[in-house]
Amino acid sequence: RHPGAVCVIPVTDEGEVIMVRQFRYAFNKVLLEVPAGKLEPNEDPLDAALRELEEESGVVAKCVEHIGEIYTTVALLDEKIHVYLATGLTFKNAHPDEDEFLEVEKIPLKTLVDMVMNGEIKDSKTQIAILKADKILSERK
């Protein structure tokens, strides 16, 4: 049983995404991901998304919208990740958990789409968040 999780794709007004690089022990390498984290017991997913976004990247968003849920490993876990799109960003200092060692960087959304499509980004929540955000934001133009 998994408590659930959230991920947030924060997109600047210039079309850049705030991403984090984080060492993942399961794969023994650093992965490029959107900010994310587990839900605390009885925590509202939106509250968790806002918390993780600020903790991991130092970003506060004026607009945060739920853009879906994903089941990460249906044959093994009941983990469900709530996916959020964040816009209207302002920047503060990140304050990750003691056991998190993150590098924050901005990458154009279109570059990230290319990275997903050519296999450079392997993390499923990050792939889904990037592709959904690109589609949603393209349709709004």
- Cβ atoms of residues 46 and 53 within 8 Å: no
| Residue in 52, 69, 98, 103 annotated catalytic | 98
79 carries an active-site annotation? no
For residue 135, give both structure tokens.
Answer: 């589609």
Instruction: Calculate ∠ Cα 140-45-10, nearest 5°.
Output: 40
Known catalytic residues? 98
